[in-house]
């Protein structure tokens, strides 16, 4: 093993002092709670997108007790647009556990933090490192890329064997001191220098002994995830309007896609939608809606929207306990699914 490896952390820390990001909102007063919220938001989401969401979230939920006591609609409303809503639901559940089991004090051991919903080993290590300076390795997407290139790790990083190697590399390089700075620096380098395509190798502090750079093909490391053709799913949604210009929204189950968000009644077939519409006393409107298309990690989805006009009293359609009539001219106080947001914008054009 190369004798230059122990100096990696020194070079990374020296780079951070000059070029690292030090003015991010969660770096100011970096308590475990504030860092935790940022780390969850940053999962699969870029920093520039997260910042305004983080600031609004902290204004409404400045501490873990406030978050724990909030209604789930409030939490999901603040998350609306960030996607991957399981993150928000787990954040809310974890806050309630901290309130009930830890007297509102964020736990400070890796094992206790990792046991909370939605927090894995890397996120737990990042929270405790960035907020308390504890010595823990992390392995988010950016750090995986830096280490995979530095060591010229063959293959996709997601295989069990490569995951094991990457954790060994991460543990090898973590310094004894300045852990918060080192953790932030590794994430910053992956985000700004060691990018997925067109890495800026010559300005990287590790370029002299980066094994991937020595091959002349640093962009080939790590290997991409093997391609997999995703299945396609089609649904029909009922956009029901009443005489007062309101639309019917249903709250989705707490699990699955858009869990806990408000959306439209949905059906597997057009025939099922029409049968339901007849039952509740609604008929097709003349408004034509474009299809809503969305790709999830495990399938592609197309939704065909049918606008329906209610011909009976609105109370007849309220058999579902989690249904509301919403005046689209007002700000909805719950979290809306992507499909709901898309269709509401179209309704403003078709039915102002």
Per-residue pLDDT tens for 168-200?
999 999 999 999 999 999 999 999 999 999 999
Q: What is the pLDDT of residue 2?
A: 46
CA distances from 37 to 62, 66, 169, 251 (A): 10, 13, 27, 25
Evaluate whether 246 touches 231 at the Cβ level (below 8 Å).
no
Burial call 259-285: b when 16+ CB within 10 Å, e when fewer: bbbbbbbbbeeeeebbebbeebebeeb
Most confident of 179-183, 222-226, 345-349: 179-183
Which of 321 and 55 is assigned the larger pLDDT?
Answer: 55
Q: Evaluate the CA torsion angle 179, 180, 182, 187 in order and state its sign.
A: positive
Q: Which tens digits make up the pLDDT trace of 230-249?
A: 999 999 999 998 888 889 99
Residue 327, C-beta contacts closer than 8 angstroms, at least 6 positions apart = 244, 245, 246
Task: Catalogue the active-site residues.
Answer: 39
Long-range CB pairs of 152-161, under 8 A, 24+ apart, other chains included: 152/211, 152/212, 152/214, 152/215, 152/221, 153/221, 153/222, 154/223, 155/222, 155/223, 156/222, 156/223, 156/224, 156/225, 156/226, 157/222, 158/225
Using the predicted structure, report yes or no on whether residue 314 has a pLDDT greater than 80. Answer: no
Find, among 294, 345, 262, the residue nearest to 77 by Cα: 262
CA–CA dist 62, 59 (Å, integer): 6
Instruction: State the average pLDDT over residues 84-113.
Output: 97
Q: How many percent of the chain have pLDDT more than 90?
A: 76
Give the CA distances from residue 313 to residues 31, 120, 242, 282, 285, in Å, rounded to whole numbers and listed in that order. 52, 50, 9, 10, 17
Flag the least confident range among 59-63, 79-83, 126-130: 79-83
Residue ranges covered by each domain of the chain: 5-220, 232-350
- pLDDT score recorded for residue 318: 58
Span 319-348, average pLDDT:
85
Q: In terms of Cα–Cα distance, which of 109, 240, 126 is closest to 190?
A: 126
Is the distance from CB of 316 to CB of 280 less than 8 angstroms? yes
Q: State which fold the 5-220 domain adopts.
A: Endonuclease III; domain 1 (1.10.340)
* Range in 219-223, 246-250, 275-279, 314-318 with the lowest mean pLDDT: 314-318
What are the residues facing 336 on neighbouring strands?
A: 262
pLDDT classification of 333: cutoffs 50, 70, 90 = confident
pLDDT at 350 over 80: no
Confidence tier at 272 by pLDDT (50, 70, 90)? very high
Q: What is the pLDDT of residue 310?
A: 86
Residue 296: its pLDDT value, please? 87
DSSP H or E segment with residue 326? strand 323-327
Q: Is the pTM of this model over 0.75?
A: yes
Class of domain 232-350: alpha beta
Of 6-10, 38-42, 179-183, 190-194, the one with minimum mean pLDDT is: 6-10
Q: What is the pLDDT of residue 114?
A: 97
Helix, strand, coil percentages, rounded to 5, for the chain: 50, 15, 40
DSSP state of 6: G
pLDDT (0 to 100) of residue 4:
47
pLDDT band at 1 (very low <50, low <70, confident <90, very high): very low
pLDDT value, residue 211: 97
**Highest-pLDDT range among 57-66, 221-230, 255-264, 274-283:** 57-66
Residue of 82, 99, 100 lying closest to 41 (CA atoms): 82
- What's the mean per-residue pLDDT of the chain? 92
User: How far is it, in rounded angstroms, from Cα 339 to Cα 228?
Assistant: 25
């Amino acid at each position: 093993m190369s004798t230059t490896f122990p100096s990696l952390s020194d070079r990374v820390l020296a780079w951070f002092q000059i070029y690292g990001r030090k003015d991010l909102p969660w770096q100011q007063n970096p308590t475990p709670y504030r860092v935790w919220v940022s780390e969850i938001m940053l999962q699969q989401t870029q920093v520039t997108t997260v910042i305004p969401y983080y600031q609004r979230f902290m204004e409404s939920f400045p501490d873990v007790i406030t978050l724990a006591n909030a209604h789930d609609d409030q939490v999901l409303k603040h998350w609306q647009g960030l996607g991957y809503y399981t993150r928000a639901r787990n954040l809310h559940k974890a806050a309630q556990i901290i309130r009930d089991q830890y007297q509102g004090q964020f736990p400070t051991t890796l094992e206790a933090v990792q046991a909370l919903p939605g927090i894995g080993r890397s996120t737990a290590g990042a929270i405790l490192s960035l907020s308390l300076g504890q010595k823990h390795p992390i392995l988010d997407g950016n750090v995986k890329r830096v280490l995979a290139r530095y060591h010229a790790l063959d293959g996709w990083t997601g295989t069990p064997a490569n995951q094991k190697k990457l954790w060994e590399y991460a543990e090898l390089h973590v310094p004894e001191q300045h852990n918060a700075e080192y953790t932030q620096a590794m994430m910053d380098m992956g985000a700004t220098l060691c990018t997925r395509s067109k890495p800026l190798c010559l300005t990287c502090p590790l370029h002299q002994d980066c094994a991937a750079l020595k091959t002349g093909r640093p962009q080939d490391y790590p290997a991409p995830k093997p391609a997999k053709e995703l299945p396609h799913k089609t649904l029909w949604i009922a956009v029901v309007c009443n005489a007062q210009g309101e639309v019917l929204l249903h709250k989705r189950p707490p699990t699955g896609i858009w869990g806990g968000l408000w959306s439209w009644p949905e059906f597997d077939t057009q025939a099922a939608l029409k049968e339901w519409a007849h039952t509740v006393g609604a008929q097709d409107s003349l408004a034509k809606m474009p299809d809503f298309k969305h790709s999830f990690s495990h399938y592609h989805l197309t939704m065909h929207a049918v606008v329906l006009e209610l011909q009976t009293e609105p109370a007849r359609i309220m058999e579902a306990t989690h249904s509301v009539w919403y005046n689209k001219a007002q700000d909805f106080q719950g979290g809306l699914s992507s499909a709901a947001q898309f269709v509401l914008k179209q309704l403003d054009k078709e039915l102002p």
